[in-house]
């Protein structure tokens, strides 16, 4: 019966390298999982969970995303709903005005291809897929202006597709005294 023995390793450096490699890969994996857990729990980063369909070919013909409805409407409780259309290669309106310190719901629909949008320094980051309404909920703490670029390649004009988000004090929110339900924006 042949004697079974482990082959002579003879290469301690190789073994140390293997352990270093396995250890660092485990550490990186744990770090990435930690980042996902932290951003979803602490910053409220998560994919939109609702599925709401819409006919992207007829947005302009009426309904929620017709031109007159685009922009911000303030509810009696002070919260805001912002409706935006994403299309090659602009957001309409291209300047959103929102109240600071109030719940803000942003609803987007695409008129053509897949777009994406994020608002710098906030948890707002989502894709806008034709045929679906993207809804995100957020709150802007401080007044100021933030950029909202399209972050999904949508064609040759992609890099020029972006909007601004102007956060203002609720007291200085532009409102039409005669018609509080009029959608407003800061687009020229």
From the list 119, 154, 165, 167, which residue makes contact with ligand CUA (rule: CB under 6 A)?
154
Instruction: Kindly report the backbone phi and psi dihedral angles of residue 169, in degrees, each rounded to the nearest multiple of 5, phi listed first.
Output: -60, 140
- Show the tokens assigned to 70: 């685009």
From the list 83, 133, 158, 184, which residue makes contact with ligand CUA (rule: CB under 6 A)?
158
From the list 115, 130, 148, 167, which residue makes contact with ligand CUA (rule: CB under 6 A)?
115
In the complex with ligand CUA, which residue's Cβ is closer, 164 or 182? 164
Encoded one letter per residue, x for contact with ligand CUA by CB under 6 A and - for no contact, window 159-178 reads --x-----------------
Which are the contacts of 35, defined by CB distance < 8 A and separation ≥ 6?
none
Rounded CA separation 185/164 (Å)? 10
Q: How far is the CB of 75 from ligand CUA (least distance, A)?
A: 29
Q: How far is the CB of 149 from ligand CUA (least distance, A)?
A: 8
In the complex with ligand CUA, which residue's Cβ is closer, 127 or 168? 127
Q: How far is the CB of 115 from ligand CUA (least distance, A)?
A: 4
- CB atoms under 10 Å from CB of 175, counted, come to 14
Which are the contacts of 90, defined by CB distance < 8 A and separation ≥ 6?
161, 163
Rounded CA separation 146/151 (Å)? 15
**122-151: contacts with ligand CUA (CB under 6 A):** 150
Rounded CA separation 173/20 (Å)? 57
- Show the tokens assigned to 117: 């949008």
In the complex with ligand CUA, which residue's Cβ is closer, 102 or 151? 151
Q: Which residues bind ligand CUA (CB under 6 A)?
A: 115, 150, 152-154, 158, 161
């Amino acid at each position: 019966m042949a004697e079974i023995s482990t082959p002579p390793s003879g290469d301690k450096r190789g073994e140390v390298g293997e352990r270093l490699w396995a250890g660092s890969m485990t550490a990186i994996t744990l770090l990435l999982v930690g980042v996902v857990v932290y951003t979803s729990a602490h910053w409220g980063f998560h994919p939109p969970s609702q599925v709401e369909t819409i006919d992207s070919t007829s947005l302009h013909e009426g309904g929620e995303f017709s031109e007159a409805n685009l922009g911000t409407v303030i509810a009696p409780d002070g919260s805001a709903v912002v409706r935006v259309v994403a299309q090659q290669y602009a957001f309409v309106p291209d300047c959103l005005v929102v109240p600071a310190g109030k719940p803000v719901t942003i609803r987007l629909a695409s008129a053509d291809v897949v777009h994406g949008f994020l608002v710098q320094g906030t948890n707002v980051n989502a894709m806008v897929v034709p045929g679906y309404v993207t809804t995100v909920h957020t709150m802007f703490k401080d007044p100021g202006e933030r950029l909202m670029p399209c972050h999904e390649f949508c064609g040759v004009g992609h890099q020029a597709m972006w909007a601004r988000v102007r956060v203002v004090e609720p007291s200085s929110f532009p409102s039409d005294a005669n018609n509080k339900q009029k959608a407003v924006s800061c687009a020229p």
